[in-house]
Amino acid sequence: MVGVNKKKINVGMVGYKFMGKAHSHAYKDVGMFFDTAADVVMKAICGRDENGVKEAADKFGWESYETDWRKMIAREDIDFVDINAPSDAHKEITLAAIAAGKHVFCEKPLALNLADGREMLAAAEKAGVKHAICFNYRFLPAVQLAKQIIDEGRLGEIHHYRATYLQDWLVDPNTPLAWRLKKEVAGSGAHGDINAHSIDLARFLIGEFDRVVGHNRTFVKERPLLTGSAGGLSGGGASTEKGEVTVDDATGFLADFKNGAMGMFVASRFAAGRKNHNTFEIHGSKGTIRWDLEKLNELEVYFREDEPNLAGFRRILATEPSHKYAGNWWPTGHIIGYEHAFVHIVYEFIQHMTTDSPFTPTFLDGVKCQEVLEAVDLSIERGAWVSVDEV
Amino acid sequence: MVGVNKKKINVGMVGYKFMGKAHSHAYKDVGMFFDTAADVVMKAICGRDENGVKEAADKFGWESYETDWRKMIAREDIDFVDINAPSDAHKEITLAAIAAGKHVFCEKPLALNLADGREMLAAAEKAGVKHAICFNYRFLPAVQLAKQIIDEGRLGEIHHYRATYLQDWLVDPNTPLAWRLKKEVAGSGAHGDINAHSIDLARFLIGEFDRVVGHNRTFVKERPLLTGSAGGLSGGGASTEKGEVTVDDATGFLADFKNGAMGMFVASRFAAGRKNHNTFEIHGSKGTIRWDLEKLNELEVYFREDEPNLAGFRRILATEPSHKYAGNWWPTGHIIGYEHAFVHIVYEFIQHMTTDSPFTPTFLDGVKCQEVLEAVDLSIERGAWVSVDEV
Amino acid sequence: MVGVNKKKINVGMVGYKFMGKAHSHAYKDVGMFFDTAADVVMKAICGRDENGVKEAADKFGWESYETDWRKMIAREDIDFVDINAPSDAHKEITLAAIAAGKHVFCEKPLALNLADGREMLAAAEKAGVKHAICFNYRFLPAVQLAKQIIDEGRLGEIHHYRATYLQDWLVDPNTPLAWRLKKEVAGSGAHGDINAHSIDLARFLIGEFDRVVGHNRTFVKERPLLTGSAGGLSGGGASTEKGEVTVDDATGFLADFKNGAMGMFVASRFAAGRKNHNTFEIHGSKGTIRWDLEKLNELEVYFREDEPNLAGFRRILATEPSHKYAGNWWPTGHIIGYEHAFVHIVYEFIQHMTTDSPFTPTFLDGVKCQEVLEAVDLSIERGAWVSVDEV
Amino acid sequence: MVGVNKKKINVGMVGYKFMGKAHSHAYKDVGMFFDTAADVVMKAICGRDENGVKEAADKFGWESYETDWRKMIAREDIDFVDINAPSDAHKEITLAAIAAGKHVFCEKPLALNLADGREMLAAAEKAGVKHAICFNYRFLPAVQLAKQIIDEGRLGEIHHYRATYLQDWLVDPNTPLAWRLKKEVAGSGAHGDINAHSIDLARFLIGEFDRVVGHNRTFVKERPLLTGSAGGLSGGGASTEKGEVTVDDATGFLADFKNGAMGMFVASRFAAGRKNHNTFEIHGSKGTIRWDLEKLNELEVYFREDEPNLAGFRRILATEPSHKYAGNWWPTGHIIGYEHAFVHIVYEFIQHMTTDSPFTPTFLDGVKCQEVLEAVDLSIERGAWVSVDEV
């Protein structure tokens, strides 16, 4: 509720493309569906291109806009900074925001490399500001239900964890060379972009990684250069000139978890027909869980304790009032979509900043995820298993 | 885009429960995702209970509130009226709004009975105001794709149309007697509430009904009275006293369509495990289409023209830029939810009011739907087929 | 086991096309997977075309063949007669077999009409021979599990029963005029051929029909005449001449059951993409069951008694040792196919003939099914509901 | 057809448990559904336990039985030997059969280790006898369709191959120590038993492995000893004494293929709820294929060349006459089961022995599969990638 005497918390956001839209939507809607401890005020949005950012400010409902993020961070009316600019900008903006005493809500990946990420974490902890990394998929009702089932011990001891994150927007060799395909801007390809989500979900659900071994591919090594402004997943036109793809199209790896479970992960942008196939399947001594982002409201669960002739995978539609966050939306059976996860994480971070309620994922989770990513890359160089503690 | 010089259109809304929330959300979000011809301004929300409506106004983002709908309709700053109060109030408010020269966006059912619906349609046409009935499911990308496939002749001649709309919130005999279970307020039970959606989708997709024959049931004839304020699908507590259920729990019927197709419809609130199972399956001489609201982003399509050894039901994820409305949201594979359909219908109605663009469904569709509903009820009385033209 | 001192029971079979092959296979395999009380001996197969029946005898493993069924029935070494000739021959052969004191295993439909069916039932009962009608789908493990769940009261009071039996082999207007499309030979079209299966399953699972109302269509009224010998579902070539289709392509109907449940049935050979889509969905006060012949090893079950946040449709793979008949085949998860149902019904009928163990479906079930079929046809003539007791 | 003047080919079989039953069934049924070039005659079955083998002979329909396989191999009336005894017996029997000039049809794994397998292959090639290894899953219509699609280039360049073979019969720690869990008899656990199938399918579908790296687990290290005779997957009772499990419960590995594709494989007997979840998913530059043994009649296929708004995974029911082997069984939509694959491989091997028609998989495929299995085991020892050419 937007109360007259309710505390307000002002956000300034850097970035206004795909993630900028998703985050804006979350700030706009959160108060309508959740009783936040403070009203979030969409104070300022920031981007380098004045026309672009002005249009975004109008369309998304921000009170003002800036073209210089340093200026925006300096504004006294900004309580926390949301950073969803391209990945290579995360570190500098974050450190500046922390220096200015602002809380930070940063898109993943935290940084281009582990050292940078650790520096950001240390700075945030030293400054005592609140910090979050936007691993949004943790906040879907079906994923929360998976977490609850596991935490209650209903899967028993975990034996297997398998994840895929599959897309197909690069199978076409004419898809242009967007910033996500350049190592110096994106840091990594499918691995850092989407394996990162799978790694975070695995850590969230079953715990820490012990060691990994992987392989990767860049199936199409040159692509048309992009003309004009580049945002979104693949926006902008294609030039006749070509440039080198410097990130991976696909990375797969095996993992051993500290709890003894066997893991298997693959991220690819070359999986024809798989549009956003972020899945996990977890086998425990008492049952199995399966989830797929393309059907994000559903969780498949098998319990060995069910009567033998009646046991089977249950397709649970996580839209009941008893499912976390679901009751804030619509009646049973009225499904939610992709963007709702951002509303939920924003809700939890507002609560965290306002009431000091427990919150994860923080920069620490960003760092832990980065450790696994880099251990995989190191294992690829070495052709052998690498302990995550080593990186 | 919210432009400085852009035309504005002001909405006043009666109702603030389940549908009030869904409509408010649509007004709030539409400008962010669609280039509307006018900016919609959430001017006033109206409800009888001052505390309730005030809280809704705050939470949903309305500029003001009223407790008397006559007063709201009279306001000069209201351009169109959105009516989502309980069904028995639709007629009176609609007629008053039309009399005041306002456009009207009315929730379904249009009225408690056909005569009232026809009166509302006549009034709207005479006054020359724009009018819409909120058959929201037409506006989902997958349903639009179904429409396109049929209109392009890719299903050929239509042979069969089958629809279900199944929920289970009444299977529990202790679910209390909400207003939706009282004939004098709701007009009808599962039939008017959810068969109405199926009938509208059938008309939208394959055309007019010729004749029908049906049966119905009220499986649980008495339910606990509801204590306190009653909104949403089942909100409020249960009393120890009981009252009579005066509407149907389930209604099924056969239909012959004017184009020769055979139809089969069932609506039930007694279908254990089916939460919002609004489905259709359409067989034509060239192929088949199947859709299910619980997986609203997907359309299953079978084409007989596919090579015989490669033909199969295709699961199309209607999240591509080429799918109507989908491109306004997120990249491919990032699914949308239930409420998005309201954003789409609101977008189309704003365009219609502002630019006179073509628009359906109007009150005429509300009346046509009501004709089928009443023909079914008449067939139940008679135990025989009834021509829809007869009612 | 084929024991040295084990009783033997000799079968003589009339018919050698699609059903003849399925039955032959059952006799051949039953002893390998089931401990029958008697060894079935494939004594003689009978058909009018000597070359055809001789080839079938060799290929299917029959000891001898006959071209005159009267002669075969007269043979002393025949203990029971299996009749799977075209439907118009069922009555005469059955009556002759009964007259000769043989047990009879008859394919469905029992007869071309109800009067004939009743005559056959009366004759069998009077003679005291064992009689069976081959409603094979009752004998699938998943269907047996559905039956068990219902009989144990785990679905509670039954509210809804919906069935489809959909195929698409007639959508092509050039599919020739096989015997199944001629009323004088087949008796009926989709209605008698496949609605019959659905009606039998409904009776098996939830009990007797009270009243019905239906509609039907013959979408393609003329088809190429068939050249050469006609067997199987559509075998034989197409002539350039056309003949009239005298049966229904599709029949749908509503039903009220004696237990108060609402029913809905549709059979069609015009459902593009549906190859053998024999399905039922049953809603009770405690749960729901769904089954589909195209996935015949699976049963979907929803129990309302499951914890609210963990309830969901269970996909049960009916291949566990605890599932009836499944343990006689392969280990868990190794699915069975269409023809296995025939092995199971043959097993049960052998037991019935040998040990007088309880057995259904008998001719009585054939008659009961025919009553419903004819009541539907009568309702179509009348355009009104017809009580099944009336026919 | 069983023709009077048709060539006959006599089989002698060693083994009569799970696989013995499946093979017997294939010999019994093949002539009924396929026009084999020779009639297979079930001449003799062999097992050490006279009562057991005698009962099997009777039940399965063998003309005679032997308790000494050497004696059976020596019989002049045996044309080929089928070996499905436990894995540790394969080598000796095979070599003896070859020495006697018999053709050999051997169950997988070919041998307990690569050296033995190579010896068997060399012996068979030197002797010029026909040899086969029973990788039965190649012979399912849906798998054949996958092969055809790939061979026709309709998937384009292959990027990814992922396979699972998951079962759950060992999750229960009280499942006894069957022979499949002892290294000296089985050679290997899940890896050799079920990864072997996945490896063979991958080789069949997309070609040779280049290098691999894996990990494995024995989750339950001790199990109750088995009492009595041990056959089938888990047959026999459990003792109170325990013994050590000396094989893997699960093995996963990454693979690089020679064609550049990335591979990922996991076999586990600890995947709760997965009964026989033998799956593959193959992504190519033009499309994707997915298959699951639990739904063995279905193939899911995605073609990028489909119109963008109509592209989607097709669920193809491989029961059309145009699908290899399917037309030999039942009409469209009437699914087949697990054992049918054995009928098909037996059919092809009979043709191969009789007419010298092309045939795979032979012992060479057994050896190639074993190479991959051993390379994985070696990679586990080393903690690093191992080239398959190295073993």
Residue D262 touches partner A, C-beta closer than 8 Å? yes
pLDDT digits (tens, 9 = 90+) for C145-182: 999 999 999 999 999 999 999 999 999 999 999 888 98
Residue D274 touches partner A, C-beta closer than 8 Å? yes
Say if residue A218 is in the same domain as residue A329: yes
Residue B268 touches partner C, C-beta closer than 8 Å? yes
pLDDT band at D230 (very low <50, low <70, confident <90, very high): very low
D2 falls within a domain? no
D308 falls within a domain? yes
- Do C25 and D3 make contact, defined as CB atoms within 8 angstroms? no
pLDDT band at D179 (very low <50, low <70, confident <90, very high): confident
Tokens of B271: 């279908």
Closest CA–CA distance from residue C376 to any residue of chain D (Å):
27
% of chain C beyond a pLDDT of 90: 92
What's the mean pLDDT in C322-332? 97
Whether the ω angle into residue A109 lies within 30 degrees of 0, i.e. cis, is yes
Contacts of the segment C147-152: beta carbons below 8 A, 24+ positions apart = C147/C204, C147/C205, C148/C324, C149/A310, C149/C287, C149/C289, C149/C301, C150/C205, C150/C206, C150/C282, C150/C284, C150/C289
pLDDT of residue D152: 98
Residue A254 touches partner D, C-beta closer than 8 Å? yes
Say if residue B123 is in the same domain as residue B262: no
pLDDT digits (tens, 9 = 90+) for D347-378: 999 999 999 999 999 999 999 999 999 999 99
pLDDT of residue B187: 84
Mean pLDDT, chain A, whole residue set: 95
Residue of C158, C159, C165, C256 to mutate when probing chain B, most B C-beta within 10 A: C159
Closest CA–CA distance from residue D312 to any residue of chain B (Å):
4
**CATH code, domain with D108:** 3.40.50.720
pLDDT of residue A353 exceeding 70, the answer is yes
Say if residue C217 is in the same domain as residue C326: yes
D348 falls within a domain? yes
Say if residue D122 is in the same domain as residue D151: no
Residue D270 touches partner A, C-beta closer than 8 Å? yes
Closest CA to C186 of C293, C98, C113: C113
- Do A312 and C310 make contact, defined as CB atoms within 8 angstroms? no
Which residues are CB-neighbours of C90 under 8 A, at least 6 positions away? C83, C106, C107, C109, C110, C111, C112, C120
pLDDT band at A229 (very low <50, low <70, confident <90, very high): low
Mean pLDDT, chain D, whole residue set: 95
Q: Is B128 left (phi over 0), alpha (psi -120 to 50) or beta?
A: left
pLDDT of residue D206 exceeding 60, the answer is yes
What's the mean pLDDT in D183-204? 94
Say if residue C188 is in the same domain as residue C315: yes
pLDDT band at A230 (very low <50, low <70, confident <90, very high): very low
pLDDT band at C186 (very low <50, low <70, confident <90, very high): confident
Using CB atoms, pick whichever of D145, D311, D320 lies closest to residue B316: D311
Note whether D96 and D73 are within 8 A (CB).
yes
Set of chain C residues whose Cβ sits within 8 Å of the Cβ of B254 = 213-215, 252-254
ipTM surpassing 0.90: yes
Residue of D148, D310, D323, D324 to mutate when probing chain B, most B C-beta within 10 A: D310
Using CB atoms, pick whichever of A215, A250, A270 lies closest to residue D256: A215
Tokens of A34: 């959740």
> Rounded CA gap, D131 and A348, in Å?
65
Which domain does B324 fall in, by range?
138-336+358-382
**Which of D136, D156, D188 is the last residue before a domain boundary?**
D136
- Residue spans of beta strands (DSSP E) within B285-375: 287-292, 298-303, 313-317
Closest CA to B82 of B36, B34, B134, B28: B134
Note whether B281 and B242 are within 8 A (CB).
no
D337 by Cβ neighbours in 10 Å (0-12 / 13-18 / 19+) ranks as buried
- Do C256 and B304 make contact, defined as CB atoms within 8 angstroms? no
What's the mean pLDDT in A166-194? 92
Say if residue C144 is in the same domain as residue C39: no
**Which of D115, D136, D157 is the last residue before a domain boundary?**
D136
- Do D316 and B312 make contact, defined as CB atoms within 8 angstroms? yes
Residue B3 touches partner A, C-beta closer than 8 Å? yes
* Greatest C-alpha distance within chain B: 66
- Do D272 and A260 make contact, defined as CB atoms within 8 angstroms? no
pLDDT of residue C2: 45
Q: Is B302 left (phi over 0), alpha (psi -120 to 50) or beta?
A: beta
D198 falls within a domain? yes
Closest CA–CA distance from residue B327 to any residue of chain A (Å):
12
C306 by Cβ neighbours in 10 Å (0-12 / 13-18 / 19+) ranks as middle
Which residues are CB-neighbours of C126 under 8 A, at least 6 positions away? none
Set of chain D residues whose Cβ sits within 8 Å of the Cβ of B155 = none
A2 falls within a domain? no
**CATH code, domain with A305:** 3.30.360.10
D285 by Cβ neighbours in 10 Å (0-12 / 13-18 / 19+) ranks as middle
pLDDT of residue D339 exceeding 80, the answer is yes
A288 falls within a domain? yes
pLDDT of residue B300: 98
Note whether B144 and B323 are within 8 A (CB).
yes
What's the mean pLDDT in C285-297? 98
Say if residue D87 is in the same domain as residue D185: no
Q: Average pLDDT of each block of 10 consecutive residues along chain B (391 residues)?
A: 72 96 98 97 97 96 97 97 95 98 97 96 98 98 98 98 97 91 89 97 98 98 80 62 95 98 98 98 98 98 97 98 97 96 98 98 98 98 98 92
Say if residue A106 is in the same domain as residue A149: no
Output the CA torsion C159→C164→C165→C167 (10° steps). -170
Closest CA–CA distance from residue A19 to any residue of chain D (Å):
25
D1 falls within a domain? no
Residue B61 touches partner A, C-beta closer than 8 Å? yes
Chain B: residue whose CA lies nearest to A17: B330
Residue D169 touches partner C, C-beta closer than 8 Å? yes
- Residue spans of beta strands (DSSP E) within chain A: 8-14, 39-46, 64-66, 80-83, 103-106, 131-133, 158-166, 209-217, 222-227, 237-244, 250-257, 262-268, 277-284, 287-292, 298-303, 313-317, 386-387
Supply φ then ψ for residue A373, to 5 degrees: -55, -45
Using CB atoms, pick whichever of D309, D310, D315 lies closest to residue B312: D315
Say if residue C117 is in the same domain as residue C193: no
pLDDT of residue D3 exceeding 80, the answer is no
Set of chain B residues whose Cβ sits within 8 Å of the Cβ of C271 = 159-160, 283, 288
Using CB atoms, pick whichever of A31, A234, A274 lies closest to residue B59: A31
Chain D: residue whose CA lies nearest to C165: D333
What total number of domains does chain A contain? 2
B240 by Cβ neighbours in 10 Å (0-12 / 13-18 / 19+) ranks as exposed
What single-letter amino acid sits at B253? F
Closest CA to B333 of B358, B308, B294, B298: B298
Say if residue C126 is in the same domain as residue C155: no
Say if residue C154 is in the same domain as residue C175: yes
Say if residue C66 is in the same domain as residue C151: no
Chain A: residue whose CA lies nearest to D170: A285
User: Which residues 297-326 in chain A show a CB within 8 A of chain C?
Assistant: 299-301, 306, 308-318, 320, 322-323
Supply φ then ψ for residue B149, to 5 degrees: -60, -45
pLDDT of residue A184: 87
CA distances from A342 to A91, A336, A347, A350, D18 (A): 22, 12, 8, 12, 53
Set of chain C residues whose Cβ sits within 8 Å of the Cβ of A306 = 314
Residue D189 touches partner A, C-beta closer than 8 Å? no
**Which of D76, D104, D136 is the last residue before a domain boundary?**
D136
Chain B: residue whose CA lies nearest to A276: B333
Closest CA–CA distance from residue A200 to any residue of chain C (Å):
24
What's the mean pLDDT in D126-155? 98
Set of chain B residues whose Cβ sits within 8 Å of the Cβ of D301 = 310, 312
Residue D8 touches partner C, C-beta closer than 8 Å? no
Note whether A275 and A294 are within 8 A (CB).
yes
Residue of D309, D316, D320 to mutate when probing chain B, most B C-beta within 10 A: D309
C3 falls within a domain? no
> Rounded CA gap, D133 and C346, in Å?
34
